[in-house]
Structure formats: structure tokens, C-alpha cells
Amino acid sequence: MSFPDVRPRRLRRTAAMRRLVEETRVAPAELVLPLFLKEGLTEPRAISSLPGVVQHSRESLRKAAHQAVSAGVGGLMLFGVPDHAAKDETGSGGIDPDGILNVGLRDLISEVGDSTVVMGDLCLDEFTSHGHCGVLAADGTVDNDATLELYGQMAVAQAEAGAHVVGPSGMMDGQIGVVRRALDNAGHQDTTVLAYAAKYAGAFYGPFREAVESTLQGDRRTYQQSPGNVREALREVELDVAEGADIVMVKPALPYLDVIAAVRDRVDVPVAAYQVSGEYAMVEAAAANGWLDRQGVMLETLTSIRRAGAQIILTYWATEAAQLLRDRY
């Protein structure tokens, strides 16, 4: 037999052969599209640091939802952006049934019903005047337990607006247990809880803060995780599952593929990952300068996140990627 005896290249000879033996594929139904609904807009408004992403009006939100569903996207995650005058110390606009987030959830349910999964971001940061994810104590720190009470109320408000899934993202200790009990006590036993279980205090969130018009003062390092820690992430995930999380999420995604893989190995609930604004913006900026193949990098990053173990991926490319994937396979 001639050398080499083993020829792995046989399985790469043609596109058909490569498709046949491909180990990891991303399906459109595994993608979730984050959407921003801005109070008072009559037309969508571009977000300068997120090319192709907008703050929606209520009308454009419905259109974007319809496009996503038509492309086969598996879910929609809604963020509400209130008028600055509506923000206060406790983030009451996030609980108000007539606040922009709950209005938007009702609009989405009215538009798409059960044809996709409608999710609400469950956090106070968009609604507080200080931009933190909870209420502040007298010393300026985030008051964990006082915040939990508001999270419970916010979860019920979102469920009553029709959300299929609520996504507690504030990284407060005990938040999943409080949200689960609040939902159950209000008769919303079927509402799913997606836990932002391992959310890191990293540097990839800048464009998102433009999108939600963040008023953050200081940083979130006292409640989000240190980028160097993985054992801590696993502890957080295990606590959330014990408290009733139906799905757990790692955020950001690409810089934390090792964390995604470790979480996938540790739990038996679905694992999600959020390809955050900075991940998206880096690729868009490089592609705009002609330095990268935009679509190629888009799909490669999504595949890497899927390969690491995330079966649900939140990405601003969800609709476009879903269309490309349908054509590809």
C-alpha cells in the first residue's frame, strides 16, 4: 500500500461529501433574534455602532418579527427602551403593564402568536435612572434582595403580556427561584425561565449600551462575573438549575466557548449563548473595511458557538443567518 495509508482528505473531496460528514450544523430554529423597541418612535432609528440593527417603532417591530418567523428563526428576545423621562430609581417602567417592554410583548404575541418563541429580557437596567440592574442601597451598591422582589413582579407582568419565556439577566443571587415562585403563584406555571446563568462583566457590551440608551454609572463587576472564572460559572449554573431554570445561558459567546462547553457537560437542560453586540460589531466593522468575508465569518462564528455546545444562539444576525442556512442546506 502506498504511503500515506490513511487519507482523511477523501471525506473533503466534494461539497456533497463535506455536507454528508459535517459534524456540526446550525439550524434556523436554534437562532433567537434580539430586538429593541424604543418608546415614542414612529420610524425605526439606526444604531450607529450596530450596523443593520435598529431601535424599532411598534410598527417596524411587527414587520421584523414577521420577517424573522418567515426565515425560520426560533425565537425573539425583546428589549424595551423607554423615554428618558420614564426612567426612575426603581425601574418601575419595567413592571408597568403599559410600559414599552410589556406593550411590545403584547404586540409580538398579537403578530406571531405561537409560531415562534417570544421572550422578554427581565432586567431593570433599561428602566433605572442610574442604569444598574437593580435598586440601589444607601451606600450606592445594588441591593440584591430588594431587587429580587421587583424581578418577581416584572416576571409576572411579562407573562401576563404573553411572553412565552422570561429571561432574568441581572445576575442577582436567588433570582431564578424568586422568579419561578412568582410565576407559579400567579398561575403562570407554563412560562419558561431562561436564566442568564453565566454573564460576564466584560468589554463586549458597548454597542448594546447605545442600543438601550444606557445611563449606567460605574460598572457591574459586583454582580456580573469576572472574565477569568469558569468554576464560578459552573456554580452559578448549578444554582440556577436547582432553583428552576428551564434553560441556562452563557454571555458573551465567542470569548467564552470553553465556558459553554463546560456548562454543556455539567447540566441536562438546554444551553444557550448570546453572541453579544461587540462580537457582532467587530465583524461588521472589519467586513466594512474589506478585511473579512462577512457572511463566511458570520456562519463560522455561529458554528463555533454551536460546536461548543450551545443549542440556542441569540444573535443579531438571526434572520439573515437563517436565510443563508436554509439556502445552504
Is residue 277 annotated as involved in ligand binding? yes
Q: Which of 38, 63, 87, 199 is catalytic?
A: 199
| Nearest-angstrom CA–CA distance, 44 and 47 | 10
Antiparallel, parallel or unpaired: β 192-199 and 165-168: parallel
The continuous run of DSSP H or E covering 77 comes out as: strand 75-81
Alpha-helical segments (H) within 162-254:
175-185, 206-211, 231-243
First to last CA, the chain: 37
CA distances 167 to 56, 79, 292, 327, Å, are: 20, 11, 33, 31
Q: Which of 38, 63, 87, 251 is catalytic?
A: 251
- Whether 38 is a known active-site residue: answer no
Report the half-sphere exposure of 31 (CA within 13 A, side-chain side): 28
- Whether 199 is a known active-site residue: answer yes
Does a cis peptide bond (omega within 30 degrees of 0) precede residue 252? Answer: yes
Farthest CA pair distance, the chain? 79
Is residue 220 annotated as involved in ligand binding? yes
For the annotated binding site for 5-aminolevulinate, the residues are 209, 220, 277, 316
For the annotated binding site, the residues are 209, 220, 236, 277, 316
For the annotated binding site for Mg(2+), the residues are 236
The catalytic site residues sit at 199, 251
